[in-house]
Structure 1
């Protein structure tokens, strides 16, 4: 990925290094913020087969080395990806960390359960010296995209990782889909990437035609300062706990039935709810379980802007490998979230529908541009200064769980080969109180991972056990 000249200069000086006069592609406006520069994302896929690590490395390198897919100029002495292969001469079950990784075959059957803790397998999957922030890349000759393969006698763990300024979840989907095409010998089907050497979103937010729906309810500068004083320690310095939650397919069916019955009782018919609406509504109520009834709460969700921008800024047919996100928020009290699962899910759906329009995206980022200094264009917080704020990112549409790497098997496979488990690990700065729906596996189960201030997962686990 290209870094701005100021990044290279400032971080190179910090490290006592001078950047070589390479070709530098300007960093896009919506990639260039302090949050994305401070996070490395690891997408981890576990396959219950032995895969050829050299095929995985060479195919990903060929993809990233293609015209317009390059994020940083490189040569034979500067590889397209950072690559590590670790081999353990044992079955996965015999390794102390790998044996703790859950999978779809051992998923709960009827009710959601906390089935693991990413901290248990993060060093195995990511490496003890994995990059964290932009300082671990600039001036160190480290490619911004990395691949780590961990091999066992019966299992292969694949970790593709990148500094967040490179890509969001839907950009990851484009990378995975086209990586598979290279593995399958179908490189002629790979489209060029749009926005390689120019920023197609450079004017997004400069031409609003209406006010953002929640304008006036954002935190003011004083409100932000108050929120930071109340929560700064847990956000920036406080210890976090991670957990992995599996939501079985059978429970999702019951959840939908409950939500639809709630809506029927309110006289609302034929309403459309996605699985994401149901998951976020149901889990948010668990996440707020430790709060007093009148506590203000905000549920924020990240959304891809690609579809809304198809008619002008991002023409269909070329993947956009970058960050392309907007956000929706629902503001409630803790007591209000408890009244009805269906009504909360409906409000979440209405927020997505309303805030995801082309006009509202323009209005949102108009606000974002006005508040960009000094951190860059970062999400706007809506609610009250004393609120409890949680955030969600849903990777289901990225379909990481459906990445077919059968072409990399050491033994020929006729059927598709999908991961038995997908994990997302974030290094650098962790979500303050945030959750990633990593997707739906081939058996219909959903998986959720979360970063919470220490002690809060205990309340969720208590509620889960009480309702089993």
Structure 2
């Protein structure tokens, strides 16, 4: 009897852009214990095989209006729910030339930040030499859009959950991880259905703005975009890029927060609320702009999840929406203005997030995304001047990858949680320069940041960090 045809689901509107089809995401978690790889494979497969979650096992195909997801009606050994690869190495992790370069929370600096590694050193080990990168690696095969790679050592395990970006953003990843852990712990009955499985709940988002976006008039025009592309196209598409991992110790963060709040108080902005993200973004942006002349226009852009704001009308509260659901906020300054005060910059970043994260501003922003969607799809809108230096951030702290507890999958029984000793976020495909991911906060309170920069620019950051610059 012939197999039942796949269920065909068109990509959601905001998933279907050139950026998301050009990037495969790898959430890499390193554990200092031996974990059963088969238990990881079977439990993740069980999650993906569940009703509404089976979308994560879809195959990507070219459709009439871009890409479509083809979901098998039934997963089999020949058409599995996830892509899977297990590599077993008969040695301790410290003896492997690449694995030995991976930093950890145990070896993290205690009182000052440091550049502690280069993700390129462990990418091939953790992701595989044949890892998928862009949509073409999926369309031309029967590969599921979600995959798992496990590398086993005698004393450690590397777990890499990877997916084509069209499937999920950071908070989508959190939903996957949280519910995978429920399967692993035998709590399948607690797993909710996904919202927006085969229909797009955001299909009209941006079509009904009631106010103007706060930064309207500052976005790059088509000519400005062309000018920006001409100035920066080489470094984005072809030029040499360097990746680094930065550890920001808990003690240093405590001091940074004190400096930021004191500077705000000194400027009369007493008791202004700041998150760690605001302080980190302000602190690192000043380092990233350090090579620029004083009058250079700069833009600090951050991704923001829209889920909480959209729970007012489009997304039911407490129900996972595994897709891409984020907008952006930007702060426009000159390099000289950025240098004036860590606290003021952190405060301005917080004010931008508060202002641009309202339901009405999200509607207005998404309207501008729709207006500029041709020809690359609904891409982020860039704000600033055509000669600006632009940097972007995505903060994964709320995804809590650093706190994923795999104790239930340990080969040796244990009664305490097992968290990663290190988390790395590797992107296959486009490596956007000066795009940084705050990968999260570990169990010791240290923050970790990774990102690509055009060749040579990490040297400026390293020099300032070595000089112990805190404000």
1:64 matched to 2:51? The reply is no
Shift of 1:265: 0.9
Shift of 1:55: 0.2
Shift of 1:467: 2.2
Other structure's SS at 2:332 match: strand
Looking at structure 2, the residues matched to 264 and 24 of structure 1 have their Cα atoms a distance apart, in angstroms, of: 56
- Aligned pairs (5 A) from 1:112-131: 112-131=113-132
1:32 matched to 2:16? The reply is yes
Gaps of 5+ in 2: 59-70
1:446 matched to 2:447? The reply is yes
Shift of 1:237: 1.1
Aligned-residue CA RMSD in angstroms?
A: 0.9
* Residue equivalent to 1:15: none
Looking at structure 2, the residues matched to 237 and 314 of structure 1 have their Cα atoms a distance apart, in angstroms, of: 40
1:395-454, Cα deviation, whole Å (9 max, x unpaired): 000000010110000011101110000000001001221100000000000000011111
* Residue equivalent to 2:272: 271
* Residue equivalent to 1:7: none
Other structure's SS at 2:247 match: strand
Looking at structure 2, the residues matched to 29 and 21 of structure 1 have their Cα atoms a distance apart, in angstroms, of: 24
Looking at structure 2, the residues matched to 443 and 33 of structure 1 have their Cα atoms a distance apart, in angstroms, of: 38
* Residue equivalent to 2:461: 460
Looking at structure 1, the residues matched to 155 and 141 of structure 2 have their Cα atoms a distance apart, in angstroms, of: 35
1:242-296, Cα deviation, whole Å (9 max, x unpaired): 0000000000000011011101111121110000000000000000000000000
8 Å contact from structure 1 (residues 147, 160) kept in 2: yes
Equivalenced residues, count: 449
- Aligned pairs (5 A) from 1:174-185: 174-185=175-186
* Residue equivalent to 1:416: 417
* Residue equivalent to 2:32: 48
Looking at structure 2, the residues matched to 280 and 340 of structure 1 have their Cα atoms a distance apart, in angstroms, of: 13
Other structure's SS at 1:106 match: coil
Shift of 1:62: 0.4
Shift of 1:139: 3.5
Looking at structure 2, the residues matched to 86 and 59 of structure 1 have their Cα atoms a distance apart, in angstroms, of: 18
Other structure's SS at 1:354 match: helix
1:142-180, Cα deviation, whole Å (9 max, x unpaired): 111010000001100000000000000000000000000
* Residue equivalent to 2:62: none
8 Å contact from structure 1 (residues 208, 366) kept in 2: yes
Greater mean alpha carbon deviation, residues 345-354 or residues 259-268: 259-268
* Residue equivalent to 1:10: none
* Residue equivalent to 1:6: none
Looking at structure 2, the residues matched to 432 and 268 of structure 1 have their Cα atoms a distance apart, in angstroms, of: 34
* Residue equivalent to 2:354: 353
Other structure's SS at 1:25 match: strand
Looking at structure 1, the residues matched to 433 and 6 of structure 2 have their Cα atoms a distance apart, in angstroms, of: 36
Looking at structure 1, the residues matched to 433 and 8 of structure 2 have their Cα atoms a distance apart, in angstroms, of: 33
* Residue equivalent to 2:401: 400
Looking at structure 2, the residues matched to 449 and 297 of structure 1 have their Cα atoms a distance apart, in angstroms, of: 20
- Aligned pairs (5 A) from 1:78-89: 78-89=79-90
* Residue equivalent to 1:96: 97
- Aligned pairs (5 A) from 1:327-342: 327-342=328-343
Post-superposition, which runs of at least 4 consecutive aligned residues in structure 1 deviate over 6 A? none
* Residue equivalent to 2:295: 294
Other structure's SS at 2:245 match: strand
1:292-321, Cα deviation, whole Å (9 max, x unpaired): 000000000000000000011011121000
Looking at structure 1, the residues matched to 224 and 144 of structure 2 have their Cα atoms a distance apart, in angstroms, of: 39
1:169 matched to 2:170? The reply is yes
1:251 matched to 2:252? The reply is yes
Shift of 1:21: 5.5
Looking at structure 2, the residues matched to 171 and 298 of structure 1 have their Cα atoms a distance apart, in angstroms, of: 27
Looking at structure 2, the residues matched to 352 and 23 of structure 1 have their Cα atoms a distance apart, in angstroms, of: 39
**Could you state the TM-score of these two structures normalised by the residue count of structure 2?**
0.94
1:35-62, Cα deviation, whole Å (9 max, x unpaired): 1000000000000100000000000000
* Residue equivalent to 1:319: 320
Looking at structure 1, the residues matched to 80 and 234 of structure 2 have their Cα atoms a distance apart, in angstroms, of: 39
* Residue equivalent to 1:373: 374
8 Å contact from structure 1 (residues 403, 419) kept in 2: yes
Looking at structure 2, the residues matched to 432 and 458 of structure 1 have their Cα atoms a distance apart, in angstroms, of: 15
Shift of 1:229: 0.4
* Residue equivalent to 1:4: none
Looking at structure 2, the residues matched to 352 and 123 of structure 1 have their Cα atoms a distance apart, in angstroms, of: 36
Looking at structure 1, the residues matched to 189 and 7 of structure 2 have their Cα atoms a distance apart, in angstroms, of: 27
8 Å contact from structure 1 (residues 236, 432) kept in 2: no
1:385 matched to 2:386? The reply is yes
* Residue equivalent to 1:208: 209
Looking at structure 1, the residues matched to 373 and 410 of structure 2 have their Cα atoms a distance apart, in angstroms, of: 47
Looking at structure 1, the residues matched to 40 and 171 of structure 2 have their Cα atoms a distance apart, in angstroms, of: 21
